[in-house]
A and B are shown apart, each in its own frame.
Chain A
Amino acid sequence: MLWEVFVRSKRGLSHTHVGSLHAADAHLALRNARDLYTRRQEGVSIWVVPAADIVASSPDEKDAFFDPAGDKVYRHPTFYDVPEGLTHL
């Protein structure tokens, strides 16, 4: 069974995907993750998630999903001029 591994590198940061591994169940997956991905002090917390349970966007839908955001520059704060003299933004 394939598991995806997420590691939080320190308190205050989010868990980040670091890789995957094989394990028979959650108990072993967590221990394998500890042995494979935190050997060099990479983490203070681990999540393991069955890879089959992750719902992912499809590469086929990439255009419809992501391209429309490409020409919407006004969605970025840098699009707007900051009035002079404004100090608390």
Chain B
Amino acid sequence: MSTATYAIRLGDDCLILGQRLCEWAARAPELEEDVALLNIALDQLGAARTLLTYGGSFDGRDEDTLAFLRDEREFTNALLMELDNGDFGRTMARQLLVAAYQLPLWEALSSSADETLAGIAGKAVKEVAYHLDHASSWVIRLGDGTHESHTRMQVGLDEVWPYAFELFEVDAVLEDLVRAGVAADPSVLEQAWLATVSGVVKEATLELPSSDWRPTGGRAGRHTETFGYLLAELQHVHRSHPGASW
């Protein structure tokens, strides 16, 4: 795996999560939360743009080509990012799992041997620190809230939990990038991730899920059933009106 593939994987993660979060526009529990979620979506989109621009620069594809003109099988985001939002509790569970991963990821990449990745990560690290604060606050508030909110928070966490482990998968070539100091070491990230998530889950009076089911395939382009609908919404304007601008 090349640096390009690595950058595009990370960029796809941000792009697809940002797109999913956009579905909360005008539907969040309150107006203020609506803006908060969309701010986070925009942060993810901003990171996606720089990562895809960089990843595509190795073979001459620009960010629009990568975002709008690839088909489902060519997207390499982790499945966790594309999961349906579900209710607000499930979305917050997913946000917690993602932010607890992205924070140590961007921290580690801030000192990557690849200067461009280091620059991108340096900017993203402050943004995701706030994402983690936001998600943690809600998971604790809902988990340690009413019977109804506790139950739904636990269900949401149980549903998204198995998908998190794809983030820490290693293959031979990722190992090479780690050894070269370009990529972040997934096993180190997983330790930091688990420590953060465990602390929040405990404070929220929730249980860490015990399921050992480990769905995977996103990095190889095998996605969940609803991913095609997400892509259709993301891509149809660009495909219907090639080159349009405003």
Interface size on B, residues (CB 8 A): 11
A28 CA / B137 CA spacing, docked (Å): 8
Residues A22 and B137 in contact in the complex (CB < 8 Å), given A32-B36, A35-B39, A39-B39: no
| Chain A: number of interface residues, binned into ranges | 10 to 19
Q: Are A31 and B36 in contact (CB under 8 A)?
A: yes
Residues of chain B from 121 to 143 with CB closer than 8 A to chain A in the complex: 133-134, 137, 141
B233 at the interface (CB under 8 A from A): no
In this complex, what residue of B is CB-closest to A21?
Answer: B32
A27 to chain B: which residues have CB within 8 Å? 137
B173 at the interface (CB under 8 A from A): no
Contact string against B for A residues 12-48, beta-carbon threshold 8 Å, 1 for contact and 0 otherwise? 0000000001110001100110011001000000000
Q: Are B137 and A32 in contact (CB under 8 A)?
A: no
A22 CA / B141 CA spacing, docked (Å): 16
Residues of chain B from 176 to 196 with CB closer than 8 A to chain A in the complex: none
In this complex, what residue of A is CB-closest to B31?
Answer: A22
B1 to chain A: which residues have CB within 8 Å? none
B36 to chain A: which residues have CB within 8 Å? 31-32, 35
A35 CA / B32 CA spacing, docked (Å): 8
Residues of chain B from 204 to 240 with CB closer than 8 A to chain A in the complex: none
B85 CB to nearest A CB, Å = 19
Q: Are B32 and A36 in contact (CB under 8 A)?
A: yes
Q: Are B35 and A36 in contact (CB under 8 A)?
A: yes
A23 CA / B29 CA spacing, docked (Å): 11
A31 to chain B: which residues have CB within 8 Å? 36, 133-134, 137
Contact string against B for A residues 77-89, beta-carbon threshold 8 Å, 1 for contact and 0 otherwise? 0000000000000
B133 to chain A: which residues have CB within 8 Å? 31
Q: Are B32 and A32 in contact (CB under 8 A)?
A: yes
B59 at the interface (CB under 8 A from A): no
In this complex, what residue of A is CB-closest to B134?
Answer: A31
In this complex, what residue of B is CB-closest to A3?
Answer: B32
Other than the known A23-B32, A28-B141, A31-B134, what 19 A-B pairs have Cβ atoms closer than 8 Å?
A21-B32, A22-B30, A22-B31, A27-B137, A28-B32, A31-B36, A31-B133, A31-B137, A32-B32, A32-B33, A32-B35, A32-B36, A35-B32, A35-B35, A35-B36, A35-B39, A36-B32, A39-B35, A39-B39
10 contacting pairs across A/B (C-beta < 8 A)? A22-B30, A23-B32, A28-B32, A31-B36, A31-B134, A32-B33, A35-B32, A35-B35, A35-B36, A35-B39
